[in-house]
Structure 1
Amino acid sequence: MNEELDFIIDSTKELMQNSIVHLEKEFRNIRAGKASPAMIGGVMVDYYGSLTPITQVANISTMDAHTITVQPWEKNMLHTIEKAIMIANLGFNPMNNGDIIIINVPALTEERRKELSKQAKAAAEFSKVSVRNDRREAMQEIKKAEASEDMKTSAESSVQDLTDKFTKLIDDLYKVKDDEIMKV
């Protein structure tokens, strides 16, 4: 095939893979009832005047399936970290015992599970839209490319195959996440 068309297909594949990576990151942020350090990984802490990720000012771990512990590297940061977790509006109520911050992760109610399932579905749909946009852009570039009609048709077919493959992958990832969320 034409070099230009190969480049279009390869770059489209890379863009679609980025959509999958983004979706997986989104899914990690949707909790499924089990405590995970990733649940508070996006919290930003005011560290001497600059906003810093919580992972850079404290050690985050899980004691059990329903408890996250945050141990600051500097003891004077306890209240600042506790405040940052509350401001992040994650639905957690951190408790400070003077040495570490303990966060109890409540069990999910049926209503909350459905809400999280909808959130996961929306993230999956957003990824599908992204993949379809990548396909549309690739098809436009293929039409502009200087190649024979047969080569263009073959390239369009390859892009459509990639779209189908990544759309199915998104559906599969969503199904796994939905099952994880709805499992009591």
Structure 2
Amino acid sequence: MSAPDRPEYIAVGRIGAPHGVRGQVHVSLLTDFPGAFRRRTSFLLGEQFRPIAVSRTRLQGKEAAVIGIAGYEDRDAAETLRGQFLYIPAAEAIRPGGHLFVHEVVGMTVRTRAGEVLGTVTEIIRTGANDVYVVRGERGEILVPAIRACVRRIERTRRRITIDPLEGLIPEDQPRGGRGG
């Protein structure tokens, strides 16, 4: 299950199982900035984006946290939150210089430096080394590694990515509509 696509909000966590008997819950972090997550005292909960107050946050590494939410004082109450996403307004999100959010990249047109349009970014695969843009177009699906050697320019306002394809990235002899990469 993925977070609903609402560009004005960014999912920063997904609530998991209750933790203990005092209403705390485990949260899988969906952010690269756990320190910023820890400092927040409120989030928007679920698809209704209901404001909630956080009474306590304890990070568990870079990918998880345990939080207490005001009004959820026991394990049974905490259980009702399982599977819901925690959001923040996009305007409050930390964006380090030059970085884009997933929702900003998905939907961008991808073209080569020579001007050939390859398609549109439909999703981003996160790997341990780098992100990979899934591009779908007339040549089928092309997997574009988000590395400097390949991605030459991202124009946020024009919603366009220019790449210098690595050898073998674009299948030359493949029939149009097939699967590439």
TM-score, normalisation: structure 1 = 0.24
Higher RCO (CA 8 Å, separation ≥ 6 residues)? 1
State which structure, 1 or 2, has the greater radius of gyration over its C-alpha atoms: 1
Q: Give the strand-richer structure, 1 or 2.
A: 2
TM-score, normalisation: structure 2 = 0.25
Q: Give the helix-richer structure, 1 or 2.
A: 1
